[in-house]
């Protein structure tokens, strides 16, 4: 896949809470067995992402992008190799520690938003904090602050059906930031949006990487989105390039 690398993003990395890259993937493989047949999806994937860095993962349909994102998000385990996140070898963790690490350190932004339909924007942003046991007043204040930061201070009490696609995605982004994750994983975050809304979402992702020193990994098929990131990792038949 040819990616236009013109006008790269300018960033000033700051020291993170740990040392070394935020995440390091080494020799990761992933296979599944379907009706007795082994299907190899990822093959010897190796790369790393620094704190404050925005990386695009690109590749043709079926190249393994979603599977790789699930591994990075601790939603799936690799069949082989190692995945070190913030100094922790996640392949050695049990399900409880993996779940805690995922909840505290990783935020997710999906193409289809996945907002609760009968809840306001404020309530949707607060969901991860409810699960974390954050007191209600602190939760509401944090959710309000985040919605204001993404330009939705006037939409706090709107439900998803009252919001445009771009506004819903900004609510989803605010929700992903609610626990101040070190890593933001975005799966085709602009795929369902028009050009103007896509620009706003990418602006917000880049801004969060800059001001919070969060690492951002964006799976995308859009060369314009990839061109705005610091670096591109290409997946070809399950192998990183």
In this predicted model, what pLDDT tens digit does every residue of 27-58 receive, in sequence order?
Answer: 999 999 999 999 999 999 999 999 999 999 99
pLDDT at 19: 62
Mean pLDDT of 131-148: 93
pLDDT at 10: 47
Residue 29, CA distances (Å) to 56, 90, 110, 166, 194 in order: 20, 14, 24, 35, 35
User: Over the range 101-131, which residues count as b (16 or more CB within 10 Å of their CB) and which as e?
Assistant: bbeebbbbbbbebebeeeebbbbbbbbbbee
CATH fold of 23-239: Rossmann fold (3.40.50)
The Cβ of residue 14 has, within 10 Å, a number of other Cβ atoms equal to 11
pLDDT at 200: 87
Mean pLDDT check: name the lowest of 13-27, 79-93, 107-121, 128-142. Answer: 13-27
Report the DSSP pairing between strands 37-49 and 215-219. Answer: unpaired
Query: What is the share, in percent, of the chain residues with pLDDT greater than 70?
Result: 92
pLDDT at 17 over 80: no
Mean pLDDT check: name the lowest of 117-126, 170-179, 205-214, 221-230. Answer: 205-214
Write out pLDDT tens, residues 157-207: 999 999 999 999 999 999 999 999 999 999 999 888 888 888 988 998 898
| pLDDT tier for residue 6 given thresholds of 50, 70 and 90 | very low
pLDDT at 210: 82
Mean pLDDT of 204-228: 90
Q: Which residues contact 92 (CB under 8 A, 6 or more apart)?
A: none
DSSP state of 153: G
DSSP state of 43: E
Burial class (CB in 10 A: 0-12, 13-18, 19+), 182: buried
Q: Compare 111 and 41 and report the one with higher pLDDT.
A: 41
pLDDT at 197: 87
Helices within 150-217 (DSSP H only): 165-176, 195-212
């Amino acid at each position: 896949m040819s990616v236009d690398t013109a006008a790269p993003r300018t960033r000033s990395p700051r020291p993170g809470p740990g040392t070394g890259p935020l995440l390091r993937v080494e020799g990761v493989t992933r296979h599944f067995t379907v009706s007795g047949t082994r299907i190899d999806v990822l093959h010897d994937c190796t790369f790393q992402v620094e704190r404050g860095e925005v990386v695009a993962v690109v590749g043709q349909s079926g190249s393994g992008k979603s599977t790789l994102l699930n591994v990075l998000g601790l939603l799936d385990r690799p069949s082989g190799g190692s995945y070190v996140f913030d100094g922790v070898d996640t392949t050695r963790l049990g399900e409880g520690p993996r779940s805690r690490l995922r909840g505290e350190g990783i935020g997710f932004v999906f193409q289809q938003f996945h907002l609760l339909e009968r809840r306001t924007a404020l309530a949707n942003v607060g969901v991860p904090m409810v699960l974390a046991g954050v007191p209600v007043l602190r939760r509401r204040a944090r959710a309000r602050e985040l919605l204001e930061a993404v330009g939705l201070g006037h939409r706090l009490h709107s439900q998803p059906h009252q919001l445009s696609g771009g506004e819903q995605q900004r609510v989803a982004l605010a929700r992903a930031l609610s626990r101040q994750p070190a890593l933001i994983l975005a799966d085709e975050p602009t795929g369902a949006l028009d050009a103007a809304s896509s620009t706003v979402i990418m602006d917000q992702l880049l801004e969060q990487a800059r001001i919070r020193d969060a690492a951002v990994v964006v799976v995308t098929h859009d060369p314009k989105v990839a061109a705005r990131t610091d670096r591109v990792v290409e997946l070809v038949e399950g192998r990183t390039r």
